[in-house]
Chain A
Amino acid sequence: MDPILSVQELSVEYATRRGALRAARDVSFDVESGETVAIIGESGSGKTTLAVALVRLLPRNARVSAGAIRFTRDGITRDVLRLDDEELREFRWRECALVFQSALNAFNPVIDIWSQFLDTARAHGMKDTKAVRDRSFELLDLVHLDPERVLRAYPHELSGGMRQRVLIALGLLLHPALLILDEPTTALDILTQRAIIDLLRELRTKLGFSMLFISHDLSLAAELADRVVTMYAGRAVERAGVEDLFYRPRHPYSIGLLRAVPRVTGALGSVASIPGSPPDLISPPPGCPYHPRCPLAIDACLAAVPPLLPVDMPRHDAACIRWQEVARTIGTAERHVAEKLA
């Protein structure tokens, strides 16, 4: 069966005064039906650019310079980059809904929530107000909100956690096959974040959609993802199942990230930052973009950009010519990478 979303060799460029900023380069990954994929990376790694590029909402100064985005549902495959304006409009939200980072700003401040639900439904041909209302009630119930009160409210009258839940409910209005979540819990408090995580897990089981979420927060990926893509300097540097990525990483950057985040409970292990800072995306270093910060870098790393290739485990790819060295230090069954590396 075809994956719901298939991204192939996608590159996105921003035009800046200093030249072309390549925010995403040759990024490829798939999202299977019912699967949750996490894209993790630091600020400037190109992950948000990727999210908006998938529904073609890039800002004016950005463009997709290469690649393909294929979306498959009910046996019909569409090339998102080739949709015309009207097809694109219909594609958005019906097939693939985007839950934004800041839910407050995702709602029009001068219109009440009900109108925004209605707008969305009408734009996709649901003319029956009663049906829209019933569906909205059902969804708001699902996200544990009081539909009556919420639909009458203006965005500023709801708390951050409530707005995030309303946005998730709105995202599910048209039964999309894929939900893209961009830093869905970053602005929220811990307990609210927990509620949203649990809610997403619950909804996924109940409704069976796929999720692609984008975060700098490794722990969110550990919580929710089936598969993880690590991004660095606009490139996907590692692609693996969640256990593989956390326990058997094959790219030095993934290891660096894992070691940079301390745990709250359990063993503290050895924690350390990655030396240096992310590269300039307008004039990146030659070869592997990570080599200036990489403890395993050798001369060959400067020669060419390493391609994303399969490593010693199934469905696990890394863009590192020294992945075997990485594997040797990490092993294949190690629970806590950080401790091993210490």
Chain B
Amino acid sequence: MSVTPAEVRLAARLGPREVFGAFWTHPVLRAALKAILTIWVTTTLTFFLIRLMPGSPVDLKIDELMQTSNGALTYDDARAIASGLFSIDLNAPLHEQYLSFMGNVLHGNLGNSFLSAGTSVTSIILAVLPWTLFAVGTGLLLSFSVGIALGLLAAYRRNSFFDRLVTTGGSVVSSIPNYLLALMIVVILGSQLRLIPIAQMRGAFSPGMHPGFTLDFIGDIFYHASLPITIFFLTQLGNWILSMRSATLAALDEDYVVAARARGLTDGRITTAYVGRNAILPLVTQFAIATGFVLGGAVVIEQIFVYEGIGLRLLAAINQRDYPLVQGILLITTTAVVIANLAADLLYGRLDPRIGRAGGATG
């Protein structure tokens, strides 16, 4: 096969930027690249924040070590001990510290916790992360499905009493910060009316329960997660209702819906395949954004309900200055959110043929 001059020129120009450019234009690769870049930026940011801030955790630890030893340790001794604790060589130049840190991260080694020496950060995270994902995921999915149904209904019965009730209620509840709603539940339903045994519901599951696929255990974890789930459900519900309502209203005005009615399609088919399917599209992307937001909110919620998830652990780590753990948790949550976004991107491509089959140029 002969090589045309054009191909030679193309080959010569395949520098990093061209390769990067090619990635950037392909939708799936682009989403993946963005995901990796996001994780890298967050990780790097926290690395430098922890080491370079005035009064950084490393300095604080050194101070703490010197103080607790009542002068027995010199600054250098304390620094050496801190070095070991952070599992980085504080004497090495910063870029080497950074490279070795990133190397460890790539190998899945997030270091060890300060406090419980010898426990890996990874194992701590693995113990608490599922509970948060369970509560957040259940709450989000519930609010998403209920919100979509109510939003659709509200749009169909535009300006009815039901519509006003649902939209006003939804927007009021969603403008209340979720942790304040949590506080109100604790105060009013828990302390004042004593309808909910707040103290019993702490933790991810009851003491003495054996994890496993038993009905008891599953019931128990739902019992313990019920308050966080309720909060995530209630505070997200309004957003879904309002978004779905306006997306449905927009879809109802579309020519293809009028055309479908002109074709005599049944209302059921029009609602599901013509109105609903198109209205839900923009909400898929919103779902990913909501994941990040709700996961962040979980920190405060878990604190209020004392639910043993990653948020509670993160705060404990912050208060105990267990920085490797803080860093690890941040990395993992970022990854989780980024994956959710990636999934949403890919799902969107599948749901909307106009995106998925890019390149099929119109005439």
**Which positions 112-146 of chain A face chain B at CB distance < 8 Å?**
112, 115, 119-120, 123-124
Alpha-carbon gap, A89 to B266, bound state (A): 7
Complex partner residue of A157 from B263, B351, B360, CB under 8 angstroms:
B360
Residues of B near A60 (CB, < 8 A) are 158
Q: What are the residues of chain B within 8 A of A57 when measuring CB–CB?
A: 258, 261-262
**A156/B262 contact (C-beta < 8 A), A105-B255, A108-B256, A161-B363 known:** no
**B151 CB to nearest chain A CB (Å):** 18
B73 contacts chain A at the CB level, 8 A cutoff: no
Q: Is the CB of B363 within 8 A of A92?
A: no
Among A97, A109, A123, the residue within 8 A (CB) of B353 is A109
Residue of A nearest to B356 (CB): A154
Shortest distance from the beta carbon of A302 to any chain B beta carbon, whole Å: 39
Partner pick for A106 among B255, B264, B278, B362, CB 8 A cutoff: B255
Interface check A98, CB cutoff 8 A = yes
Q: Is B318 an interface residue (CB 8 A)?
A: no
A108 near B264 with CB under 8 A, answer: no
What are the interface flags for A16-51 relative to B under an 8 Å C-beta threshold, 1 for contact and 0 otherwise? Answer: 000000000000000000000000000000000000
Give which listed residue, B158, B256, B363, contacts A109 with CB less than 8 A: B256
Tell me which residues from 225 to 245 in chain B have a Cβ below 8 Å from any Cβ of chain A.
none
A110/B353 in contact, CB under 8 A: yes
B360 touching A156, Cβ below 8 Å? yes
Interface string of B160-171 (1 = CB under 8 A from A): 000000000000
Instruction: Count chain B CB atoms within 10 A of each CB in A57, A91, A112, A156 and give the residue with the most.
Output: A156
Q: With both chains docked as a complex, state the minimum distance between the C-beta of A5 and any C-beta of chain B, in angstroms.
A: 15
Measured CA separation A52–B258 after assembly (Å): 10
The complex places the Cα of A91 from the Cα of B262 at a distance, in Å, of: 9
Q: Is the CB of A110 within 8 A of B281?
A: yes
Q: Are B273 and A108 in contact (CB under 8 A)?
A: yes
Q: Is B183 located at the chain interface by the 8 A CB criterion?
A: no
- Given the complex of chains A and B, what is the CA–CA distance between A55 and B357 in angstroms? 35
Report chain A residues within 8 Å CB of B362.
Answer: 156-159
B-side interface residues, number (CB < 8 Å): 27
Q: Does A107 contact B (CB under 8 A)?
A: yes
Within 8 A of A (CB), among B263-322: 263-266, 269, 273-274, 277-278, 281
Q: Is the interface of B mostly helix, strand, loop or mixed?
A: helix
Question: B259 on the interface (CB 8 Å rule)?
Answer: yes
Among B264, B265, B353, the residue within 8 A (CB) of A156 is B353
Closest B residue to A167 by beta carbon equals B259
| B260 interface hit (Cβ, 8 Å) | yes
Contact A105 B254 (CB under 8 A): yes
Select from chain B the residue with minimum beta-carbon distance to A52.
B258
Q: How far is the CA of A27 from the CA of B260 in the complex (A)?
A: 27
Please tell me if B13 contacts chain A, counting CB pairs below 8 Å: no
A108→B258 contact, CB < 8 A: no
Chain A residues close to B by CB (< 8 Å): 52, 55, 57, 60, 89-94, 97-98, 100, 102, 105-112, 115, 119-120, 123-124, 154, 156-162, 170
- A-B residue pairs in contact (CB < 8 Å), sample of 18: A55-B262, A57-B258, A92-B262, A94-B264, A98-B259, A102-B255, A105-B254, A105-B255, A108-B256, A109-B256, A109-B278, A109-B353, A109-B354, A111-B277, A119-B260, A119-B265, A123-B266, A157-B357
User: 5 closest pairs, A vs B, by CB?
Assistant: A159-B363, A105-B255, A92-B264, A106-B259, A154-B353
New A-B contacts (17) at CB < 8 Å, excluding given A93-B264, A119-B265:
A57-B262, A60-B158, A92-B261, A92-B264, A94-B264, A100-B258, A105-B254, A108-B260, A109-B256, A110-B352, A110-B353, A111-B277, A119-B260, A119-B263, A120-B263, A123-B269, A124-B264
